[in-house]
Amino acid sequence: MSRRKRSDDWGFPRWRPYESSRETVAQRECDRHGCDEPGLCPAPKSPNSPDRWYFCQKHAAEYNKGWDYFEGLDKEQKAERAKAERQESEGYAEASHYGWSGAGDGSRSADEMRALELLELEADADFDAVKKAYRAKAKEVHPDVKPGDEEAAKQFQAIQVAYDVLRMAEERREWKG
Protein backbone atom coordinates (compact mmCIF):
# COMPACT_ATOMS: atom_id res chain seq x y z
CA MET A 1 0.00 0.00 0.00
CA SER A 2 1.54 3.29 -1.07
CA ARG A 3 1.33 6.32 1.08
CA ARG A 4 0.30 9.66 -0.32
CA LYS A 5 2.82 12.44 -0.01
CA ARG A 6 1.86 15.01 2.58
CA SER A 7 1.30 18.54 1.29
CA ASP A 8 3.96 21.14 2.06
CA ASP A 9 1.23 23.75 2.41
CA TRP A 10 0.15 23.20 5.99
CA GLY A 11 0.79 24.85 9.34
CA PHE A 12 3.08 27.74 10.09
CA PRO A 13 5.57 28.47 8.71
CA ARG A 14 4.78 27.30 5.22
CA TRP A 15 7.23 24.57 4.38
CA ARG A 16 7.32 25.10 0.65
CA PRO A 17 10.35 26.82 -0.87
CA TYR A 18 10.44 30.54 -1.62
CA GLU A 19 9.29 31.71 -5.05
CA SER A 20 6.88 28.80 -5.33
CA SER A 21 3.26 29.73 -5.09
CA ARG A 22 -0.18 28.72 -6.08
CA GLU A 23 -1.86 30.10 -9.13
CA THR A 24 -3.43 33.51 -8.71
CA VAL A 25 -7.16 33.87 -8.54
CA ALA A 26 -8.69 36.42 -10.88
CA GLN A 27 -10.40 39.17 -8.93
CA ARG A 28 -13.24 41.19 -10.33
CA GLU A 29 -12.41 44.85 -10.99
CA CYS A 30 -14.66 47.78 -10.18
CA ASP A 31 -17.31 48.30 -12.87
CA ARG A 32 -16.75 52.06 -12.81
CA HIS A 33 -14.96 53.12 -15.99
CA GLY A 34 -11.26 53.76 -15.40
CA CYS A 35 -11.11 52.30 -11.88
CA ASP A 36 -8.60 49.52 -11.23
CA GLU A 37 -9.62 48.76 -7.63
CA PRO A 38 -11.18 45.37 -6.76
CA GLY A 39 -14.97 45.34 -7.20
CA LEU A 40 -16.08 43.76 -3.93
CA CYS A 41 -19.31 45.70 -3.29
CA PRO A 42 -22.38 44.52 -5.22
CA ALA A 43 -25.01 47.14 -6.09
CA PRO A 44 -28.33 46.51 -7.87
CA LYS A 45 -28.56 47.71 -11.46
CA SER A 46 -32.27 48.46 -11.10
CA PRO A 47 -35.07 47.85 -8.57
CA ASN A 48 -36.25 44.24 -8.35
CA SER A 49 -33.44 43.08 -10.62
CA PRO A 50 -31.03 40.27 -9.79
CA ASP A 51 -28.33 41.91 -11.95
CA ARG A 52 -25.58 43.65 -10.01
CA TRP A 53 -22.78 46.11 -10.58
CA TYR A 54 -19.60 45.40 -8.66
CA PHE A 55 -17.89 48.54 -7.38
CA CYS A 56 -14.97 49.34 -5.13
CA GLN A 57 -16.04 50.79 -1.78
CA LYS A 58 -15.58 54.42 -2.88
CA HIS A 59 -17.67 54.06 -6.02
CA ALA A 60 -20.30 51.92 -4.27
CA ALA A 61 -20.84 54.73 -1.76
CA GLU A 62 -21.08 57.24 -4.59
CA TYR A 63 -23.59 55.06 -6.46
CA ASN A 64 -25.74 54.32 -3.40
CA LYS A 65 -25.88 57.99 -2.39
CA GLY A 66 -28.44 58.68 -5.12
CA TRP A 67 -30.22 55.31 -5.03
CA ASP A 68 -33.98 55.47 -4.53
CA TYR A 69 -35.25 52.09 -3.36
CA PHE A 70 -38.88 53.07 -4.05
CA GLU A 71 -38.31 54.50 -7.54
CA GLY A 72 -41.09 53.70 -9.99
CA LEU A 73 -43.64 52.73 -7.32
CA ASP A 74 -46.82 54.63 -6.65
CA LYS A 75 -47.78 55.81 -3.15
CA GLU A 76 -49.69 52.65 -2.16
CA GLN A 77 -46.93 50.34 -3.41
CA LYS A 78 -44.32 52.37 -1.50
CA ALA A 79 -46.37 52.11 1.69
CA GLU A 80 -46.91 48.37 1.16
CA ARG A 81 -43.20 47.71 0.56
CA ALA A 82 -42.17 49.82 3.57
CA LYS A 83 -44.67 47.93 5.75
CA ALA A 84 -43.34 44.58 4.52
CA GLU A 85 -39.75 45.69 5.23
CA ARG A 86 -40.70 46.76 8.75
CA GLN A 87 -42.50 43.46 9.42
CA GLU A 88 -39.52 41.44 8.23
CA SER A 89 -37.09 43.35 10.43
CA GLU A 90 -39.37 43.81 13.45
CA GLY A 91 -38.05 40.68 15.13
CA TYR A 92 -34.48 41.88 14.75
CA ALA A 93 -35.31 45.28 16.22
CA GLU A 94 -37.16 43.64 19.09
CA ALA A 95 -34.32 41.22 19.79
CA SER A 96 -31.57 43.84 19.49
CA HIS A 97 -31.99 44.48 23.22
CA TYR A 98 -30.63 41.00 23.90
CA GLY A 99 -27.60 41.42 21.64
CA TRP A 100 -24.02 41.45 22.86
CA SER A 101 -23.25 45.02 21.91
CA GLY A 102 -24.97 48.35 21.49
CA ALA A 103 -28.07 49.34 23.35
CA GLY A 104 -29.09 46.91 26.07
CA ASP A 105 -25.68 45.33 26.45
CA GLY A 106 -25.60 46.02 30.18
CA SER A 107 -23.01 48.77 29.94
CA ARG A 108 -25.45 51.37 31.31
CA SER A 109 -27.15 51.23 34.70
CA ALA A 110 -30.89 51.65 35.21
CA ASP A 111 -30.27 55.19 36.51
CA GLU A 112 -28.34 56.06 33.36
CA MET A 113 -31.13 54.66 31.20
CA ARG A 114 -33.73 56.74 33.08
CA ALA A 115 -31.53 59.82 32.68
CA LEU A 116 -31.21 59.20 28.93
CA GLU A 117 -34.97 58.75 28.71
CA LEU A 118 -35.52 62.06 30.51
CA LEU A 119 -33.19 63.79 28.05
CA GLU A 120 -35.02 61.98 25.20
CA LEU A 121 -31.88 60.22 23.93
CA GLU A 122 -31.23 56.72 22.61
CA ALA A 123 -29.50 54.16 24.83
CA ASP A 124 -26.30 54.31 22.77
CA ALA A 125 -25.96 58.12 22.78
CA ASP A 126 -22.44 59.42 23.35
CA PHE A 127 -21.58 62.09 25.91
CA ASP A 128 -21.46 64.90 23.34
CA ALA A 129 -25.10 64.20 22.50
CA VAL A 130 -25.89 64.16 26.23
CA LYS A 131 -24.31 67.61 26.70
CA LYS A 132 -26.16 69.01 23.71
CA ALA A 133 -29.53 67.64 24.86
CA TYR A 134 -28.93 68.85 28.43
CA ARG A 135 -28.18 72.39 27.30
CA ALA A 136 -31.21 72.52 25.01
CA LYS A 137 -33.59 71.21 27.69
CA ALA A 138 -32.08 73.41 30.41
CA LYS A 139 -32.58 76.52 28.28
CA GLU A 140 -36.28 75.69 27.87
CA VAL A 141 -37.08 75.33 31.60
CA HIS A 142 -34.40 77.41 33.35
CA PRO A 143 -35.77 79.41 36.32
CA ASP A 144 -34.41 82.63 34.79
CA VAL A 145 -36.43 81.97 31.63
CA LYS A 146 -39.58 80.96 33.51
CA PRO A 147 -39.50 82.77 36.87
CA GLY A 148 -42.07 81.63 39.42
CA ASP A 149 -43.03 78.47 37.45
CA GLU A 150 -42.92 75.57 39.94
CA GLU A 151 -43.26 72.89 37.27
CA ALA A 152 -40.41 74.34 35.21
CA ALA A 153 -38.21 74.45 38.34
CA LYS A 154 -38.91 70.76 39.02
CA GLN A 155 -38.13 69.86 35.40
CA PHE A 156 -34.89 71.85 35.56
CA GLN A 157 -33.82 70.02 38.71
CA ALA A 158 -34.65 66.65 37.12
CA ILE A 159 -32.64 67.56 34.02
CA GLN A 160 -29.69 68.62 36.19
CA VAL A 161 -29.78 65.35 38.14
CA ALA A 162 -29.98 63.34 34.89
CA TYR A 163 -26.98 65.21 33.49
CA ASP A 164 -25.01 64.67 36.72
CA VAL A 165 -25.74 60.92 36.63
CA LEU A 166 -24.54 60.65 33.04
CA ARG A 167 -21.51 62.90 33.64
CA MET A 168 -20.39 60.82 36.62
CA ALA A 169 -20.85 57.60 34.64
CA GLU A 170 -18.76 59.04 31.79
CA GLU A 171 -16.03 60.05 34.23
CA ARG A 172 -16.00 56.52 35.70
CA ARG A 173 -15.67 55.03 32.23
CA GLU A 174 -12.79 57.34 31.36
CA TRP A 175 -11.09 56.60 34.68
CA LYS A 176 -11.38 52.81 34.18
CA GLY A 177 -10.54 52.72 30.55
CB atoms within 10 A of CB 169: 18
Q: Give yes or no for residue 9 having a pLDDT over 90.
A: no
DSSP β-ladder status, 41-44 and 52-55:
antiparallel
Mean pLDDT of 10-15: 59
Average per-residue pLDDT for the chain? 79
When mean pLDDT is compared over 59-68, 71-80, 168-177, the highest value belongs to 71-80
**Higher-scoring residue by pLDDT: 87, 160:** 160
**Higher-scoring residue by pLDDT: 176, 74:** 74
- Could you write out the DSSP letters of every residue in 99-147? SSSSTTSS-S-HHHHHHHHHTT--TT--HHHHHHHHHHHHHHH-TTTST
Confidence tier at 101 by pLDDT (50, 70, 90)? very low
Q: Give yes or no for residue 70 having a pLDDT over 60.
A: yes
Q: Give yes or no for residue 99 having a pLDDT over 50.
A: no
Residue 52 sits at φ, ψ, to 5 deg, of: -130, 145
Return the pLDDT at 103.
46
Q: Give yes or no for residue 24 having a pLDDT over 70.
A: no
**Domain 110-176, CATH number (from 3.40.30.10, 1.10.10.60, 3.30.70.1140, 1.10.287.110):** 1.10.287.110
